[in-house]
Amino acid sequence: MSASPVQPDFSELARRQSDRAAIVDYIFRTPGVQESDFLEWKSGYDLTQKPGRAATSKHLIAFANRDFAQAGRNAEGFAYLLLGVEPGNLPGVPQWDSADIENWLSPYVGPDLRYGPPDYVTVGGAQVLFLVVDPPRTGDPIYSMQKAGAEQNGDTLAEGTIFVRRGGKSERHTSADLKRLTARANTTIATPLELSVTLDGTGILVVNPRLLTAAARDSYIERQEKRLLGSPPRRPTSPFDVGLSINAGVLEKRTEEQFAEEVRTYLADVEAGWVDMVNARHVQDEDGPLVAAIVNDTARNYEDVVLELTVPVAADRVFATPNEPRRRLGLPESPPTWGSLNPIDMAALSPPIINPAAALIRRPEVEAVGSTHALVRYPGIHVRPRSSHRLDRIHLALNPALAGTSAEVAWRVTSRSTDGDLSGTATLTVPA
């Protein structure tokens, strides 16, 4: 073995591969080097086996339970756990898939313990697994073994055991450690809410102005009247007149006059609700999608973030799904043609089929704000660090006069992770 290398700079976090490789090389080539409160190395840990997972989790938990001042002395508060190296020995480890590593460790450390994505460093042809634990912070829970296990030497690691770093070892907590960790968990600080909101309206089309005219309405009514009253078929006297089994439907029971009255009522409803019908078709064809996104440029996680948009569009022109207008607007339904066999409504005769997955889907809520604006409230989401989260699209039936215009949309966000709220405006541009 050659002379020991120069000790790496442990005051800053080793972010680059070259810096991490220097640490591995230093440990391997330095006899007698000691582990510390932020640095641990192991060889012989096999994460495909439960003892290796449990032992690795023990050290991650101990690093996460360090004192603030203790952690802040080195590596910007981070801690390193290296698997596959020790002084004078560099066996390396297999290159396990990162997702597998997280799935192997999470049952032991739980979902809240923060450590970086598993990273591999190659030194002397051997691959060393480099795990980096985040610095402790105010409000962190007391980390403990979430699942019982046993180390390679047979030592039992009971569920709920709390480990801390003491010098270069991961040891069970003392009463003083418990007091310190409890105080840390019970202390909260105000976390600033630093998010922004963007709107994407590039796919929006305004409602076709030609369909909103009286001529379009009257033409549609004329076609419907001709379809329903123009040439009524002969009233069947038996199901065999139409070549169907009696089980396929029920015979016409309305008189011609009753049917004609249904048609007159339907056509009058079409005339009165023509604008709603045009808007519903526009939304059903998904011609007015608006997509909002929550942007997080910080390194913080925000839990249960709720976005509210106040759009300058009447609430009866804003919808959460393409099929929502028919339910919300009460659109007229065409009566079945007279003299035909009316199909039995089998759905009415059978109990409703409940789709558990569909029941869990949460859609944006739309509320009226006066007669000219609508409030859209989106379900809460987890906003990850340095990411943009596109929310479910909403659907707008915009007046043709809005083509080529821009409007300011007010937004407001809240988060379970913080107190207070954050508000601002985003520009909605309607394509010409």
Task: Give the CA distances from residue 32 to residues 4, 23, 167, 321, in Å, rounded to whole numbers and listed in that order.
Answer: 11, 15, 15, 66
pLDDT averaged over the chain?
87
Q: Is residue 244 over pLDDT 50? A: no
pLDDT tens, 70-83?
898 999 999 999 99
Cα–Cα dist 46/84, whole Å = 10
* CATH at residue 57: 3.30.950.30
For residues 28 and 131, membership in a common domain is answered with yes
Domain closes at, from 186, 220, 255: 186
Domain count along the chain: 2
Most confident of 50-64, 189-203, 228-242: 50-64
- pLDDT value at residue 231: 61
pLDDT band at 432 (very low <50, low <70, confident <90, very high): confident
Q: Which residue type is seen at 394?
A: I
- Same domain? For 169 and 206 the reply is no
Q: Are 113 and 143 in contact (CB under 8 A)?
A: yes
Q: Is the pLDDT of residue 1 over 50?
A: no
CB atoms inside a 10 Å sphere around CB 351: 6
- Render pLDDT for 347-371 as a digit per residue (tens, 0 to 9): 444 555 555 544 456 789 999 999 9
Predicted local distance difference test score (pLDDT) of residue 122: 95
Q: Tell me, yes or no, whether 146 and 263 share the same domain.
A: no
Residues whose CB falls within 8 Å of the CB of residue 107, separated by 6 or more in sequence, listed in order: 146, 147
> What is the domain range of residue 113?
17-186
**Environment class of residue 372 by beta-carbon count within 10 Å: exposed (0-12), middle (13-18) or buried (19+)?**
exposed
Residue 3 or 362, more confident:
362
Last residue within a domain, chosen from 186, 213, 240: 186
Residue 381 and residue 245 share a domain: yes
| Last-in-domain residue among 153, 186, 219 | 186
Shared domain for 167 and 275, answered yes or no, is: no
Quote the pLDDT of residue 173. Answer: 95
Q: How far apart are CA 159 and CA 420, in angstroms?
A: 37
Residue 65 within any structural domain of the chain? yes
Whether 62 and 207 map to the same domain: the answer is no
pLDDT at 80: 97
pLDDT for residue 111 is more than 60: yes
Domain identity same for 202 and 178 = no
**Residue 162 DSSP SS3:** coil
CB of 249 within 8 A of CB of 344?
Answer: yes
Q: Retrieve residue 259's tokens.
A: 């049917």
Residue 175 CB partners (closer than 8 Å, separation 6+): none
154 and 291 co-located in one domain: no
Domain membership of residue 9 (yes or no) is no
The answer, yes or no, to whether residue 132 has pLDDT greater than 90, is: yes
Q: List, for residues 294-326, the tens digit of each pLDDT value.
A: 999 988 888 899 999 999 999 999 999 999 988
Residue pair 69/112 in contact by the 8 Å Cβ criterion: no
Are residues 106 and 143 located together in one domain of the fold? yes
Whether the pLDDT of residue 167 is over 90: the answer is: no
Contact, 63 vs 109, CB < 8 A?
Answer: no
Q: Of 309, 318, 296, which Cα lies nearest the Cα of 408?
A: 309
Percent of the chain whose predicted confidence (pLDDT) is above 70: 88
Q: What is the CA radius of gyration of the chain?
A: 33
pLDDT recorded at residue 246 = 41
Closest Cα partner for 266 from 217, 335, 340?
A: 335
**Integer angstrom CA distances of residue 188 from 138, 139, 143, 184, 414:** 6, 5, 17, 8, 18
10 within a domain of the structure (yes/no): no
- For the entire predicted model, the pTM comes to 0.53
What is d(CA 171, CA 156) in angstroms, rounded to the nearest whole number?
13
253: helix, strand or coil: coil
In the three-class reduction of DSSP (H, G, I as helix; E, B as strand; rest coil), residue 123 is classed as strand
Residue 7 maps to a domain: no
Sort 125 into a burial class: Cβ within 10 Å, 0-12 / 13-18 / 19+.
exposed
Alpha helices by DSSP H, listed for 190-242, are 214-225
**Residue 379 included in any domain:** yes
Domain assignment of residue 168, yes or no: yes
Both tokens of 337, joined, read: 């043609």
Give the pLDDT score at 247.
41
Q: Give yes or no: residues 156 and 217 share one domain.
A: no
Exposure on the CB side of residue 51, measured as CA atoms within 13 A: 10
Please state, in angstroms and rounded to a whole number, the distance separating the CA atoms of residues 22 and 31: 15
Can you give the CATH number for the domain in which 391 is found?
2.60.40.10
Residue 353 lies in a domain: no
Considering the domain architecture, whether residues 217 and 148 belong to the same structural domain is answered as no
What is the predicted pLDDT for the residue at 340? Answer: 61
Q: pLDDT value at position 346?
A: 44
For the ranges 23-37, 73-87, 230-244, 270-284, the lowest mean pLDDT is seen at: 230-244
Q: Is residue 248 part of a domain?
A: yes
| Continuous segment of H or E residues that includes residue 103 | helix 98-109
Residues 411 and 278 in one domain: yes
